[in-house]
Amino acid sequence: MGDDTWAGLADRFVDEAYASVKGRVRTYVLHQHLLEHLPGPPAPVLDVGGGAGNQSFPLAEAGYEVTLLDPSKAMLAKAQQRLTGLPGDAQRRVTLLQADGEDAVDAVKGRRFAAVLCHGVLGYLERPEPLVDQLCRCAAAGGLVSIMTGNAKASAVRPALERRWDDALASFDARTEIGVLGVPGRADTVEELSELMRSGGVEPLRWYGVWLFVDWLEFGGAELDPSDSKQVAATAAVELEASRRDPYRQLSRVFHLVGRKASS
């Protein structure tokens, strides 16, 4: 996706989507997944297509050295704005870079990272192969590669919950849809991305679901209150547990795949 597209979506994406219950659940669940696999701080982390830093800035606050790479000036402006709200020591651990994910190796000048994150990006690309190759190349020996993207095996969930039955029926064999932000998106499978990881020298470790019950509630018409912190925390705890278990993770509209690069 280019800068022009995100210039019109950055405020809505950062200030509304991430501030919603679904946004908070996503950030919390992914953060807990990452903590299960990340080396300790101050290990260097590269966040490819990291937007405004909603996922990686908490890692900077936890002591990690974060490089956030994104092609959009608008999103990086939001990242810079949010960065000023972090403690000074966390701010100093963050570097912002403007570049396409497909050019990540050159953008970071060949540097290798203990962890490479790419969350919510692959679905906006026609093909996942070029970006996944870059992610694997940016990971250091023994480093982590973390990818979150749409689950092609659960494509019928959203239209069915919205009672768009014709769309739901067609979605069983579809890979693309117009996403909640009004932008075309594409979904992948765990098996396909696992093979792409392996081709880049990264062995898949585990995969998780992301967004199950909050999707069912939101697309079913329920209003979720992000100001009710107790309810949000309870929701996030249930979503985290569901993300680790079958059959719940298989029904999640999004999945999170984590792999580790060979040590030598």
Q: DSSP of 164-231, one letter per residue? A: -HHHHHHHTT--EEE-TTS-EEE-B-HHHHHHHHHHTTEEEEEEEEE-SHHHHHHHTT----TT-HHH
188 pLDDT higher than 90:
yes
32 pLDDT higher than 70:
yes
How far is it, in rounded angstroms, from Cα 193 to Cα 173? Answer: 18
Beta-bridge partner residues of 145: 116, 259
Q: What does the pLDDT look like over 143-182, one tens digit per residue?
A: 999 999 999 999 998 899 889 999 999 999 888 887 666 6
125 pLDDT higher than 70:
yes
How far is it, in rounded angstroms, from Cα 264 to Cα 252? Answer: 34
> What's the pLDDT at 3?
45
> What's the pLDDT at 116?
98
Flag the least confident range among 8-12, 29-33, 136-140: 8-12
7 pLDDT higher than 80:
no
Give me the domains of the chain, ranges plus CATH numbers.
3-261 (3.40.50.150)
> What's the pLDDT at 5?
63
Residue 211 banded pLDDT, cuts 50, 70, 90: confident
For the chain, report the end-to-end CA distance as a whole number of angstroms: 34
Q: State the Cα torsion 187-28-262-254 to the nearest 10°.
A: -10
For the question of whether the overall pTM of this predicted structure is more than 0.85, the answer is: yes
Write down the residue that tokens 């309810």 correspond to: 231
